[in-house]
Amino acid sequence: MQHEERVFEAFLRQYREIFRVLINAAEQITGQYSVSFEQYLLLKQIHEQRNITLSELADATHTTRSAAARKLRALLLDGFVEQEAKLDDRRVKYLRLTTKGTNVEHDIRQAFLQSAEAWDQIPTNLTTENINDFFTQYQQNIAIWDRTRPKFRRPVLHAKKKVLGEE
């Protein structure tokens, strides 16, 4: 019983550390495009499901309608997403990515794919005997990856330079 408790406590400690590193890495990637990781998940869902409504988006991303609306508001203001009213019911608004939103979603997806190539595949047949060893090694691999992973740079947009008077 005491051994199981130690394994469980080690698992929880390592899980929290792995989760922290992954969230930080995800936020670094999406932050290069002035988007949070949660906002990226909305962009991804809108990209994958054309003409989605806010309610459907909230359901698909397992969040509340009000939380999805708050994240979506920023995406609308930044020009990543546009709304179009349904012809026979103007209260229903369909969400679509703009060209800018499509480009950002694609660029972030590519950055995540590039980042994912640095990870080894996680075994699917872990037993209680080797889970602690696995997570110890996994945590060490994450620490190494976090220090050595490539840093992503936001592409320089020509329009931004023109606005700032640099061209």
What is the tens place of the pLDDT at every residue in 91-136? Answer: 888 999 999 999 999 999 998 888 776 665 555 665 655 666 666 6
**pLDDT over threshold 50, residue 161:** no
What domains does the chain contain, in order, with CATH numbers? 2-163 (1.10.10.10)
Higher pLDDT, 13 or 159: 13
| pLDDT 10s digits, 40-96 | 999 999 999 988 999 999 999 899 999 999 999 999 999 999 998 878 877 888 999
Say what the alpha-carbon torsion angle 81, 87, 88, 91 is, to the nearest 10 degrees: 30
Residues in the chain: 167
Q: 71, 39 in Cβ contact below 8 A?
A: yes
